[in-house]
Amino acid sequence: MRSIGADIDAGESGLQVIRLRLMRAREMFELSPTDLFSEYRNFLTGVDFCLSELRGRRSRRPVRLEIFLPPAEIDDAVAWRLGRTLRRYCEHRIRYNRSEASAQRLGGLSALRIGGPTCALGLALTIASSTVWPSPDTAQVLAEQLGWVLVWIGLWFPLDQLMFYPLAYTRESRVLRALADAEIVVTPYRPAAAAPDRPGW
């Protein structure tokens, strides 16, 4: 599989166009067991390539997939089968992402069980440093800095996991919804003959 084109101008079509060249229709979802050193070996599925392309764009325009297949792989229902399977794949992955985002938030809340006391210890140390050493000296500065470090350690990971980790799953789910509604156009092409192996390589 390889990309054989770029986006067409949004002013002309209003669509995000992704062009894929596949050897088999199933390569949209899984890799075929072929020669790893073949010039035509696919290292990404069509879906993975589409997700990577769409994640890197801010556009929310509708998506059109232009899939090029060998003539022997095309029949009257191939576009329908690809669309149906693509929708099922996206629905399953959206459900998975929803569960993973919830798990990350729960993990952040659980991490507060350790982070909360650590943060409280840091604040106590910071306050105590001002009380025990009213005049600034090296010990007071070190104790205060250590206290703020403990506050940062106690809050950073729980809040990061609670608020930011789920964002990746949310962004991917948005892309999956656009991909599930994509228009699919299947076009035949003739794969070029493979070049003979070079001796000594």
For the beta sheet containing 183-188, the strands, ordered from the edge strand earlier in sequence to the opposite edge, are: 16-21, 63-69, 183-188
Nearest to 30 by CA among 40, 43, 39, 19: 43
Handedness of CA 90, 96, 99, 102 (dihedral sign): negative
Q: Which positions ≥6 away from 52 have C-beta within 8 Å?
A: 44
What residues form DSSP beta bridges with 186? Answer: 67
The answer to whether residues 193 and 70 touch, using CB atoms and an 8 Å cutoff, is no
Domain spans in the chain, listed from the N-terminal domain onward:
108-175
What is residue 40's predicted lDDT score, i.e. its pLDDT? 56
What is residue 85's predicted lDDT score, i.e. its pLDDT? 95
Q: Which positions ≥6 away from 161 have C-beta within 8 Å?
A: 104, 105, 107, 108, 111
pLDDT in tens, the chain (201 residues): 444 433 443 444 688 999 998 888 888 998 877 656 555 556 788 999 999 999 888 888 899 999 999 888 889 899 999 999 999 999 999 999 999 999 999 999 999 899 999 999 988 988 888 777 666 677 778 888 888 899 998 999 899 988 888 999 999 999 999 999 999 999 998 755 544 444 444
Specify the pTM: 0.73
With tokens 């206290």, the residue in question is 147
Angstrom distance (rounded) from CA 173 to CA 99: 11
Amino acid 130 reads S
Eight-state DSSP code of residue 26: G
Tokens linked to 62: 């509708």
112 CB neighbour count, 10 Å cutoff: 18
Ranges of H-type helices in 38-77? 46-55
What residues form DSSP beta bridges with 187? Answer: 68
What is residue 6's predicted lDDT score, i.e. its pLDDT? 38
Tokens linked to 110: 């659980």
Burial code (b: 16+ CB inside 10 Å, e: under 16) for 126-159 equals beebeeebeeeeeebeebbeebeebbeebbebbe
What is residue 195's predicted lDDT score, i.e. its pLDDT? 47
